[in-house]
Amino acid sequence: MNYIPYGYKIENGEAVIVEKEAEQLKKMFDFYLSGLSLAEVAKETGILKPHPSIGKMLRNRRYLGNGFYPPMIDEDTFHKAEDERVRRAKMLGRIREPKDNRGSAPIVSFSMPVSKQLYENPYMQAEYAYSVIECEVAEDAE
């Protein structure tokens, strides 16, 4: 089930803009671009949502308009806010580059010898079974 983004309501099967909320939303983008934190933005605009929700609202592309939702924010403002979000995340060390996994060799095959020990507890039996699995790793796996 989809939700109706903040600032819109459905009337006669069509999305329409709620003017008061639209003004708050525009101020939200302006305050964020002026340097306020997400929590401060929520407080200043009167949008009673936690800061993660404010962050999601700043990334919601529906505010640009699409076939169903009328536009509330211009593309320039939206992209500036996204650039600012990425800049802040990098500054705080919250963006990590994906690791290069080419150095690890993939497992080619594995075998499991016949169990030599039997446990009444199924969890202990499973732990034992996993401990005796033998892996064969490819040497030239690139």
What residues make up the domain containing 47? 8-91
Return d(Cα 121, Cα 84) in angstroms, integer. 55
Q: Are 70 and 17 contacting, i.e. CB atoms less than 8 angstroms apart?
A: yes
Q: Reply yes or no on whether the pLDDT at 140 is more than 60.
A: no
Number of domains present in the structure of the chain: 2
3-class secondary structure, 30: helix
Rounded to the nearest 5°, which phi and psi values hold at 77?
A: -65, -45
Query: CA-based Rg of the chain, rounded to a whole angstrom?
Result: 26
Per-residue pLDDT tens over the stretch 66-118? 989 999 999 999 999 999 999 999 998 887 766 666 666 666 676 777 777 88
Which pLDDT belongs to residue 1? Answer: 41
Q: In this structure, what CATH number is given to the domain that contains residue 13? A: 3.90.1750.20
pLDDT of residue 93: 85
pLDDT digits (tens, 9 = 90+) for 2-56: 689 999 999 999 999 999 999 999 999 999 999 999 999 999 999 999 999 999 9
Let me know whether 77 and 33 are in one domain.
yes
The span from the CA of 54 to the CA of 29, in Å, is 10
Q: What is the predicted pLDDT for the residue at 117?
A: 81
* Integer Cα distance of 37 and 23 in angstroms: 19
Instruction: Judge whether 102 lies within some domain.
Output: no
pLDDT recorded at residue 115: 73
Q: Is residue 18 part of a domain?
A: yes
Give start and end residues of each alpha helix (H) in the chain. 19-33, 38-45, 51-58, 75-91, 122-131
pLDDT at 124 over 50: yes
